[in-house]
Structure 1
Amino acid sequence: MIAETVCSAVSAAGLGIAAVTAYRRRFLSAARIAAYSLVPVALVMTGVVGWLADTAFSPTAWAGFVLLGCAWVLFATTRAVERRRGGTRKERRAAARGTEQSGGAVAPAASAPSLPQAGPPATRPSGRAAAAPRSDDDFSDIEAILKKHGI
């Protein structure tokens, strides 16, 4: 009963403000204010306000909202744990099967040695002759940047 009275008073006040706004020749704003002020009365007439008032003062409804909150927290927690572990159990099994099929190595080419095979000294190029142009190219870029900044 109190909720309906409050909604009626809010609507009456809104319609009064709309009338003052229309008197100032702001008809578009007045129409918009009138539309907003009719919403509370419409909610009272449809019974939504009574249902909301009964729900707001019902301990059973509040217990239901608390249970919904707990369920949401559980869903969010399990999702966060799933992300930390790397997906669902099904996704982890599929990833493990994919690794087993590829021979268990992360990168198959990584098993090859990174240094060239030692051979007779005549077939290997000298270290200084081969390394000098590469290091000059690398350092020339760095030197150009440093000179550009005056260092």
Structure 2
Amino acid sequence: MLLTDTVCAAASAAGLAVAFVTAYRRRFLAATRIAGYALLPVGLAMTGVLDWITDLVFKPAVWLGFGVLGLSWLLLAVSRAVERRRGGGTREERRAAAERGGAPALGAGGGTRGPGRTRGATKSGAGSGTDDFSDIEAILKKHGI
């Protein structure tokens, strides 16, 4: 504790000396900035922040605490990954399932609007507009929306 205070006082004194020389050369703005930085170590030493930092760095219990925090993060990440796997697999598997489930309702291309429907049949049917919405509704229900 005494050593850190001495080092901070020496660093501040050296910084203030540089600030004085800079002010002597009539560069007052730079001298003010240097003096501000030079007073930081003494201020930190006086508030006790440096003692807290040295305790943080040199105590094994603190490093064990960081290890426990890392372990807890790892456990949470693993549990989330396992939960995702149970809930539908990886992203690629979910995308493939969505494409398989959504392809017939969206149409197979080539002028059809679904399995066995052509454009003319869709327009001429009496309830054809509701049939299209029922397909969409079935897809939404399948995905839980």
Larger RCO: 1 or 2 (CA < 8 Å, sep 6+): 1
Same fold (TM over 0.5): yes
Matched, 1:14 2:15: yes
Give the aligned residue type for 1:105. G
Match among 85, 89, 93 for residue 90 of structure 2: 85
CA distance in 2, matches of 1:75, 1:21: 54
Superposition RMSD in Å: 3.4
Q: How does 1:2-151 map to 2 (within 5 A)?
A: 2-73=3-74, 85-86=90-91, 105-107=101-103, 108=105, 109-110=107-108, 111-112=114-115
CA distance in 2, matches of 1:51, 1:17: 29
**Count of aligned pairs between the two proteins:** 101
Percent identity (aligned): 52
CA distance in 1, matches of 2:79, 2:33: 46
CA distance in 2, matches of 1:20, 1:10: 16
CA distance in 2, matches of 1:34, 1:47: 21
Shift of the alpha carbon at 1:72?
Answer: 4.3
Unpaired stretches in structure 2, ≥5 consecutive residues: 109-113, 117-145
Considering only CA atoms, is the larger Rg found in Structure 1 or Structure 2?
Answer: 1
TM-score by length of 2: 0.55
Shift of the alpha carbon at 1:112?
Answer: 3.4
